[in-house]
Amino acid sequence: QKEVEQDPGPLSVPEGAIVSLNCTYSNSAFQYFMWYRQYSRKGPELLMYTYSSGNKEDGRFTAQVDKSSKYISLFIRDSQPSDSATYLCAMSVNSGGSNYKLTFGKGTLLTVNP
Amino acid sequence: NAGVTQTPKFQVLKTGQSMTLQCAQDMNHEYMSWYRQDPGMGLRLIHYSVGAGITDQGEVPNGYNVSRSTTEDFPLRLLSAAPSQTSVYFCASSYSRTGKGNTIYFGEGSWLTVV
């Protein structure tokens, strides 16, 4: 079993839809959880960052972490064509404050159709 | 502020050739790393560095060398290119302090094809 599992999709939704992206993980030492967005032929850019369990909201994006179930989610409300990208979940352990080594999911390709 | 700069963006190599992928950051970040991204495999850590003069192996280090002589630069060397090293390579950097969150900045990527 890989440490981080993510459904690669692809996922295609109409504009305005609510999108739910998910990852599961097996390493209980993960404490930092991130979502990256990657446009075609570009590097990943940090979208959301959360520490431990709970919800975090930023505009149309909500990141949710459930450590008891080892499950994280990213919700996108009122999705826009500009949200079309690959979304990668990433995690790291709390290693003396040095959380620079990320373990990534494979990424989910999202297309929002106008 | 250029962020993380990678060169070259595209490169074709013949099997057995060597080359260096360059990475530079201007944010005074202590931590730098190299990832490769392959279809169906996601991003995998090759090597990383926690500061000048300090490097360590990641998940897939075989066939690659790194060095960190300055804070700004972290080159990745392919010693004898193999077709299995055909991939997209991303350099990344970040602060060490958790007060900065876990913002890891990525470069634009280097597309490498080994024939």
What does each C-alpha distance from B80 to A101, B44, B63, B74 come to in angstroms? 26, 20, 7, 19
If pLDDT is split at 50, 70 and 90, which confidence band does B102 have? low
Cis bond leading into A114, ω under 30°?
A: no
Q: What percent of chain A has pLDDT over 90?
A: 68
d(CA A100, CA B16): 32
Q: Count Cβ atoms below 10 Å from residue B10 Cβ, excluding itself.
A: 9
The 10s digit of each residue's pLDDT in B4-56 is 999 999 999 999 999 999 999 998 888 899 999 998 888 999 999 988 999 99
The pLDDT value recorded for residue A7 is 84
The pLDDT value recorded for residue A8 is 78
> Which residues of A sit within 8 Å Cβ distance of B?
4, 6, 8, 32, 34, 41-46, 49, 88, 90, 92, 94, 97-102, 104-107
B59 Rama sector, left if φ>0, alpha if ψ -120 to 50, beta otherwise = alpha
Whether A97 shows a pLDDT value over 50: the answer reads no
The pLDDT value recorded for residue A99 is 56
> How far is A99 from chain B, CA to nearest CA, in Å?
7
